């Protein structure tokens, strides 16, 4: 992801933090001070937020480690103020594999919460009440993280769980369509909840979820709108067609670059199903650049959804 700094790496996976992430502790520090709570309370609040993001990081590592079991590498894990993103090289089309990768993240938070609550119930809290309170709150946050992530909305884990579950009983495209629609309904619900509770973060997440679910829907409707699907000559030869993605009549492998002639909205839709934030664009077999999900979504909002993606990355 652009505009992010590398923190280090864990077993070959780069850990990155987006610059906007720094706004979060700064904002929390000053809002606590403004509320008249003193420097110690402000420092504790910042420490608490950092601890939460430690848990988010472990959550993303859970996805990455599960993916590794299926030979899928993770390029990096990026921390954003609204959460973490693990950039997996591809998403397996085998429902059970996608299911396991999606569930592995929330399972990490279940494990953290269990360890914290067990630890607290076996330790004399009276010795360090402040630490006990801090850990208790952190345990609760992990429970919330599990519940929140399991909301069946793309690109959250619950949406992937739903799609992979449906894909066991029906066509992958149909499963995606249903899961994406459920995702959009959930996003609207989240946004309303955010509005009524005055939670700006929730509104932001809802907007992000809605766009991703919309992109997923566009992808599916693009597939079913009667466009002729002509497999590209050399990309279908190895492996089963199930590992291929399809958009605007072009087949391309999940871990491959996208052709410059594909429309911006198709690439955005494909990317949103990939748990990646960027992809390489090729023109006549030559790499002409990279494009990020943010750039694609911004272009769709400017009404450039039908533009060939190559024109966005042209030097």
Catalytic residue check, 239: no
For Zn ion, the closer CB: 156 or 247: 156
CB of 58 to Zn ion, least distance (A): 11
Do the beta carbons of residue 132 and residue 120 sit within 8 Å?
Answer: yes
Neighbours of 32 (CB within 10 A): 19
Binding marks (x or -) toward Zn ion, 145..164, rule CB under 5 A? ------------x-------
Least separation, in Å, of the C-beta of 109 and Zn ion? 9
- Contacting residue, 105, 183, 194, 259, with Zn ion by CB under 5 A: 105
Nearer to Zn ion, 135 or 151 (CB): 151
Query: In angstroms, what is the minimal distance from the CB of 57 to Zn ion?
Result: 11
**At its nearest, how many Å lie between Zn ion and the CB of residue 286?**
35
**282/289 Cα distance (integer angstroms):** 7
User: For residues 89 and 283, which CB has a smaller minimum distance to Zn ion in the complex?
Assistant: 89
Instruction: Give every strand in the sheet of 286-292, ordered side by side.
Output: 258-259, 278-283, 286-292
The residue whose Cβ lies closest to Zn ion is: 105
Instruction: Answer yes or no whether residue 98 interacts with Zn ion by CB under 5 A.
Output: no
Q: Which is nearer to Zn ion, 86 or 247 (CB)?
A: 86
Alpha helical stretches, state H, 69-197: 95-122, 129-149, 157-167, 172-197
How many CA within 13 A on the CB side of residue 182? 20
- Count of residues engaged in binding Zn ion, rule: CB under 5 A: 2
Convert 233-251 to b/e letters by CB count within 10 Å (16 or more is b): eeeeeeeeeeebbbbbebb
Q: Could you list the residues that contact Zn ion (CB under 5 A)? A: 105, 157
Catalytic (active-site) positions:
60
């Amino acid at each position: 992801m652009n505009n992010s700094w590398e923190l280090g790496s864990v077993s070959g996976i780069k850990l990155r933090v987006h610059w906007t992430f720094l706004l979060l502790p700064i904002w929390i520090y000053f809002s606590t001070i403004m509320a008249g709570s003193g420097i110690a309370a402000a420092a504790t609040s910042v420490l608490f937020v950092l601890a939460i993001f430690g848990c988010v990081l472990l959550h993303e590592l859970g996805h990455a480690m599960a993916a590794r079991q299926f030979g899928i590498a993770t390029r990096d894990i990026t921390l954003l103020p609204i959460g973490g993103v693990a950039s997996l090289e591809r998403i397996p089309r085998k429902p059970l594999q996608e299911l396991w990768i999606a569930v592995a993240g929330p399972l990490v938070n279940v494990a953290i919460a269990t360890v914290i609550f067990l630890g607290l119930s076996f330790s004399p809290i009276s010795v360090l009440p402040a630490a006990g309170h801090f850990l208790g709150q952190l345990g609760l946050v992990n429970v919330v993280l599990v519940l929140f992530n399991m909301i069946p909305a793309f690109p959250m884990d619950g949406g992937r769980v739903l799609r992979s579950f449906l894909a066991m009983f029906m066509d992958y495209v149909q499963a995606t369509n249903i899961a994406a629609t459920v995702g959009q309904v959930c996003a609207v619900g989240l946004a309303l909840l955010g509005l009524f509770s005055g939670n700006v973060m929730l509104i932001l997440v809802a907007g992000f979820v809605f766009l991703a679910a919309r992109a997923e829907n566009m992808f599916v409707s693009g597939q079913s709108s009667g466009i002729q699907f002509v497999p590209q000559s050399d990309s279908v030869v190895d492996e089963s067609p199930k590992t291929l993605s399809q958009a605007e009549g072009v087949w391309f492998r999940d871990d491959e670059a996208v052709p410059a002639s594909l429309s911006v909205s198709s690439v955005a839709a494909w990317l949103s199903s990939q748990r990646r934030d960027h992809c390489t664009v090729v023109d006549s077999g030559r790499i002409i650049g990279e494009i990020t999900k943010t750039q694609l979504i911004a272009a769709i909002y400017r009404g450039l959804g039908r533009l060939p993606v190559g024109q966005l990355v042209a030097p």
